[in-house]
Structure 1
Amino acid sequence: MVEKTLNHYVVNKNTLAICSIASCEFSSIVYEIDQILYVRQTPLKIIQVSCLANGSTHKGRCMAVSYHTNNRHKLPVPISEKDSIYFFPTSAPNNFHCHWISYHHVLHLQLAKNQETIITFRNGLQLTISVSFYTIEKQLHRTAHLRHLFSGL
């Protein structure tokens, strides 16, 4: 896989996941279908900028999701309904350890030891994250429900 370093990033159809990283040089690792990007923005900042690039604020999208789903925490975000790009957080978005996962690219979830989950993406990439299987499965279902709701609007 190709590796690059960027100052800014906007989510697109090729984005699989945005993960936080503790580094002096960058704040996020972005996994795309065919490359890994090291980005100087935090995962939440990437999500916020990506929402703006697609015509709304992150806060506005969260308000709409909350209104339609009656949920208040760890809300999935429709980055672009037009392109069917939906991401869900693995924990509270302000948490340093929060990663953002593309709903569309998830192929399979697998329970790992020590309350970890292995996410297999459609391109074969496997990502092990320190979040319970139950939490990721619930987030995946929430996002599927949201996608279904928004496709009917």
Structure 2
Amino acid sequence: MKKKIEQENYLISKSTEVLQPVFHMYYSTVVWEGDTIIYVKAPCYKILDDSCLPRGASYDGRRTAVIRKIGTKIKVPILVCRQEEIYAIPTMSPKNYNCIWIFYHHVDDIAIDKNRPGKCIVIFKSGNQLPLDVSYYVMSKQLGRTARCITVFSSM
């Protein structure tokens, strides 16, 4: 049984697996942390920005740094914290309200969703699974971009 918590704001940590936007009257984001679900009033972008700032840069600053270092301009992974190796992966354009953010070091595998052609499922090390409305190819590409980002920033 998952533990459920409600809070106003949230700071991303090594425990964060997923930031998932939701349409709800009282909260905007559902955060996954292993066996805990946290309902947060703040939207995903604010959580990301608030989590980057105490670590030395804004979300926009981190995004610009990643673009310059790895060259990609679309669906840019975000280096939330280099020291803690926290990297966030957007499943689609962050401008799209339905963009889910997945945290790289929690991903165990991705699989083709056999019940939904053209879609995939992310399997986390915790055993949690998240069906996504993106293809296996897109998610593989996102994981590759993030791995490249990790390689570049860990050597600095």
**Aligned residue-pair number:** 153
2:100 counterpart letter in structure 1: H
Structure 1 segments, 4+ long, off by >3 Å, are none
Whole-angstrom CA distance in 2 between matches of 1:87 and 1:126: 17
Residue 147 (structure 1) aligns with: 150
Residue 74 (structure 2) aligns with: 73
1:6, 1:38 within 8 Å by CA — same for their partners in 2? yes
Residue 138 (structure 2) aligns with: 135
Whole-angstrom CA distance in 1 between matches of 2:82 and 2:35: 23
Structure 2: state its 5+ residue gaps: none
Q: Deviations over 1:49-99 (max 9, x none)?
A: 111121111111111101011111110011000000001101111211000
1:26 counterpart letter in structure 2: Y
Structure 1: state its 5+ residue gaps: none
TM-score using structure 1 length: 0.97
TM-score using structure 2 length: 0.95
Residue 32 (structure 1) aligns with: 33
Shift of 1:141: 0.6
SS of equivalent to 1:61: helix
The alignment yields a C-alpha RMSD, in angstroms, of 0.9
Whole-angstrom CA distance in 2 between matches of 1:11 and 1:136: 21
Identity of aligned residues (%): 33
Aligned residue runs from structure 1 range 113-124, under 5 A: 113-124=116-127
